Each structure stands twice: as structure tokens, then as C-alpha cells.
Amino acid sequence: MSNNAAVTADGGEIGRAQALQARAAGLAPTTDMNPVLLKPESDTGAQVIVQGSRFATMKARDYARVKDTLLPAVLESFHRLAEGVDLVLVEGAGSPAEINLREGDIANMGFAEAAGVPVVLVGDIDRGGVIAQLVGTHAILPAADRDRISGYVVNKFRGDIALFAEGSGEIARRTGWRDIGVLPWFAEAWRLPAEDVMDLARPGAAGGPLKIAVPRLGRIANFDDLDPLSAQPGVHVDLVEPGRALPGDAALVLIPGSKSTLADLALLRENGWDIDLAAHVRRGGHVLGVCGGYQMLGTEIADPDGIEGPPGRAPGLGLLDVRTVLAPAKTLALTEAQDIASGAPVSGYEIHLGQTEGADCARGWLRLGDGRLDGAASVDGRVMGTYLHGLFAGDDFRAAYLARLGAPGDTFAYEAGIDAVLDALAQHCETHLDLDALFGLAAPV
């Protein structure tokens, strides 16, 4: 379940965490790696993506009734992935201890049973009570599920691992499961792309004198746009929670993508962020809207088909002379472009509903590979919008854009840094886990 999605080469979408796992495995992401993706649109409902394409929008109760009908698609993806590879690691979603959700389960023990695969249980000691987590799960699981679990791992340990030897032994004694190892806290994990929006405020991010303010929208989506900025030396990304004003000393206000653009536009106004944004522009500040944020900057967003709720329209923030009409067809594409101002190459992806048109589109500031322009800009160039996600991952473009805001034009190798952290994490696992035992548990498909 995530609104932070990645676009695959075959034109589908999967969770960005699964795309990162593909990268760690040295593989191009495919829709089979995340056959069912839930994208929350409200507190009780979500868009259901099956094998990369929209299946339906459902309330949680309705999804619970139909999820078992999706198991054939999940198994199809699993067997397709297994062809031609040595090992498939399947990540469960949620907890196997949620026995109230066991019936019809397709993401934990239900899948493991259907696919005939063994299970290793991972406990998060950083949350506390890891012995109770693991032993308690053993106690409440049905016998068939309990017997399917072959081993356990204790994750995120801080301190002297020797002090946990007795605890680990007690888990093994009470459960009969094999001890695969205790994985110490991996301090560099914060450098990997954030899976959850709250990770954007994680300690260790670069920080610096150039402030970028980002309103924390209720249905913020595809916030991986912020990861390279959070890691950029000299830059401080300030994720502004509801109830707090946008800071007056920000050089840039970045309005991110949204899974529910009209609802988040209303939230933006409820918090007075529209007033803060207008004051920011009067002071000469810069504004960038990405995807849903781009749509909000226009004069109007129309939803004639009721995609996000009852059919209707809402006035936008009026900072760009553009208008957006939402439509059922979703644009999903990997995109190459060039920043017209600097000539820097830009790689990213599009994932949006609707089309945006208007006078300010004549000042599109990204040139696509086919020669078309993307985005829009105000006459003075201080307010800009684009549908292209992921553009700040490009080192040259990021340096050029931040230089316009007054930051030093230094570059650092963002993508190479991710690969280095993944390599270090792999070594960390190899050092502390019994990987021979783990791989030895794998069953033939």
C-alpha cells in the first residue's frame, strides 16, 4: 500500500519500494514485482492496481470481500518472475499476526500457502518487545501457518549484540524456528529513497542554508522527487505539517504530487497555505508544482466525470495561467527531456490523470525527446509547473536549478550514492545473517 509509485518500462506502475528492491537485485522493475498495489485515496478507500493497471477504486470493506479473487493474478506474476532466475524473495505486506484478516489473504501466509513457499519472520527490535512479537505470533497462528515458518531474523538492533544472545535463544526454544541472525542498525539507510513520507524528515539528511518548503498534503504522492533535495548538501527540505504556516524564509515552495488533487487543494486552503504562498510570491520567492501540485497552481481544475468524487470544478491557486481537466485515462510513461535554460538532461516519469492547457504552457521549460514542451512558467519565471517526476535525481539539472535559487552549483552523484548504500547494505547482511541458511530454506517452484 503506497502512493509513492514507480513507472515500469512496460507502462505499468508498482510501489517505489519494490522498484528499489529491483534495483538492488540488478533488474529492471516490472509489474510482476508488485502484482497488487493499493493507492489510498481516502481514510477508508483506495485505488486498486493489478499487474500495473487500474482495476477499481474500492472501500476497504469491499476490497476485503474480493481480494481472494486477485490471487490467480498474484500467482501468475510469481511464476512468471521465477522463470530464469535463481531465487525469488517475497516480501509480505503487513503482519501474519493479523489473524482477523487471514481469510482470503493474498499478501502474507495466504500467498505462502498457495505458492508453497517457506516463510522467515522478521521482527523489528527498534519498536520494542521483539521477543513478544515473535513468540506471540507463534502462539496465535493456526498450526498450518505456524509450521510454514522456518526461521526468524531480528532487525534494527542497537548496541552490543552479545547482550541479546539469551533472548534470541529463548525465541528459538519457544518457537522451534531457526535463528537466521540479528541484523544491527544500518545507519546509512536514511540515504535510500524514502518509502514513507514521514521518512523525509529523517535524521541525517543534509540540511543547509537554502530552505525548500513542502506542504505536507493529506494524499501526497510520488514524493521521491524530494529525496535528492533532502540529500543535497547546503539544502534543507522543510516538510510543513498541517497547522503550521509556510516559512517566510524559504527560497522555494515545492507543491508535490497528490493522489487526490481536489481534496488536497481544499486542504491547502484550509491551512491558509494559499495565503502564505501568495505572500511568498510577492516577496519574490520561487514556486514549483509537480504533477498534482502543477495542476493546483492553475486557474481551475475540472472533474467532469467525477474521478475524485462528485463531478464538479474548483478554482486553482491562480499562479499559472493554465487549466486542468481530469479524465479517466492515466498517463504512465518513462520520459527523457532537456532543461531548456541549462541544457542539462532530465530523466523521469509521468503518472497522472488529466490534461493541462493554457497560455503559460507556451513557456514550457522542459523539451521532451520528441520536441514537445512540458510544463508551464509564469512571465517572470518564478512560478513553474511540470508533470515530470524524478527530475531532481539528475545531478546536472539539480545543480543548475538550485543555482537559480542562490545555492552553490555543486553537484554530487545522487544515483551512484544509492548504489553505494545498497552495496553496503548487502555487505551488512552478509556479515550479520546466516545467508547460507536463509537460501537453503528456499523451496523449488
- pLDDT at position 202 is 52
Question: If residue 52 lies in a helix (H) or strand (E), which one and from where to where?
Answer: none
Q: What is the CA radius of gyration of the chain?
A: 23
302 shares its domain with 396? yes
More confident call, 4 vs 262 = 262
100 shares its domain with 183? yes
- Report d(CA 204, CA 364) in Å as an integer: 35
pLDDT digits over 9-40, tens only? Answer: 888 999 999 999 999 999 999 999 999 999 88
Cell of 193: 529513497
149 shares its domain with 213? no
Q: Is residue 123 part of a domain?
A: yes
Q: Is residue 445 part of a domain?
A: no
Q: Does residue 155 surpass a pLDDT of 80?
A: yes
- Residue 46: C-alpha distances to residues 60, 63, 264 (Å): 7, 9, 15
CA dihedral for 223, 229, 231, 234, sign (positive or negative)? negative
Backbone angles phi, psi at 192, to 5 degrees: -80, 155
- pLDDT at position 204 is 47
- pLDDT at position 408 is 73
B/e letters for 128-165, b = 16+ CB within 10 Å, e = fewer, are: eebbebbbebbeebeeebbebbbbbbbbbbeeeeeebe
Q: Is residue 119 part of a domain?
A: yes
Catalytic residue annotation = 291, 389
CATH number of the domain where residue 263 is located: 3.40.50.880
Output the 3-class SS for 303-361: ECCCCCCCCEEEECCCCCCCEEEEEEEEEEEEEEEEECCCCCEEEEEEEEEEEEECHHH
Q: How far is CA 397 from the centre of its chain?
A: 22
- Residue 97: C-alpha distances to residues 94, 122, 168, 347 (Å): 9, 12, 19, 41
Q: Is residue 142 part of a domain?
A: yes
Q: Is residue 417 part of a domain?
A: no
Q: Is residue 265 part of a domain?
A: yes
267 shares its domain with 322? yes
- Report d(CA 126, CA 183) in Å as an integer: 11
Q: Does residue 43 surpass a pLDDT of 90?
A: no
- Report d(CA 158, CA 110) in Å as an integer: 33
Tell me what the pLDDT averaged over the chain comes to. Answer: 92
Cell of 390: 524524478
262 shares its domain with 178? no
Section 407-423 average pLDDT: 88
Q: Is residue 132 part of a domain?
A: yes
32 shares its domain with 113? yes
Indicate the pLDDT class of residue 41, thresholds 50, 70 and 90: confident
Section 74-102 average pLDDT: 91
202 shares its domain with 79? no
Angle at 8 between CA 413 and CA 256, to 5 degrees: 65
54 shares its domain with 104? yes
Residue with cell 500467498: 111
Q: Is residue 418 part of a domain?
A: no
Residue with cell 485505488: 47
Backbone angles phi, psi at 112, to 5 degrees: -60, -40
- pLDDT at position 9 is 86
Q: Does residue 198 surpass a pLDDT of 60?
A: no
Q: Does residue 160 surpass a pLDDT of 90?
A: yes
- pLDDT at position 203 is 47
- Confirm if 440 and 180 have CB atoms less than 8 A apart: no
- pLDDT at position 81 is 94
CATH number of the domain where residue 182 is located: 3.40.50
Section 46-60 average pLDDT: 90
Domains: count for the chain: 2
Q: Does residue 398 surpass a pLDDT of 80?
A: yes
- Report d(CA 385, CA 295) in Å as an integer: 8
The candidate with the shortest Cα–Cα distance to 224, out of 199, 189, 206, 244, is 199
The range of the structural domain enclosing residue 256 comes to 193-412
Section 95-102 average pLDDT: 89
138 shares its domain with 231? no
26 shares its domain with 158? yes
Section 254-270 average pLDDT: 95
- Report d(CA 309, CA 266) in Å as an integer: 13
Instruction: Pinpoint the alpha helices (H) of 8-119.
Output: 16-24, 60-66, 71-82, 109-115
159 shares its domain with 283? no
- Confirm if 200 and 215 have CB atoms less than 8 A apart: no
- pLDDT at position 196 is 63
253 shares its domain with 351? yes
Indicate the pLDDT class of residue 411, thresholds 50, 70 and 90: confident
Residue with cell 521532451: 368
pLDDT digits over 343-367, tens only? Answer: 999 999 999 989 999 999 999 999 9
Q: Does residue 94 surpass a pLDDT of 90?
A: no
pLDDT digits over 227-249, tens only? Answer: 999 889 889 999 999 999 999 99
Instruction: Pinpoint the alpha helices (H) of 26-128.
Output: 60-66, 71-82, 109-115
Q: Does residue 201 surpass a pLDDT of 60?
A: no
Section 179-202 average pLDDT: 81
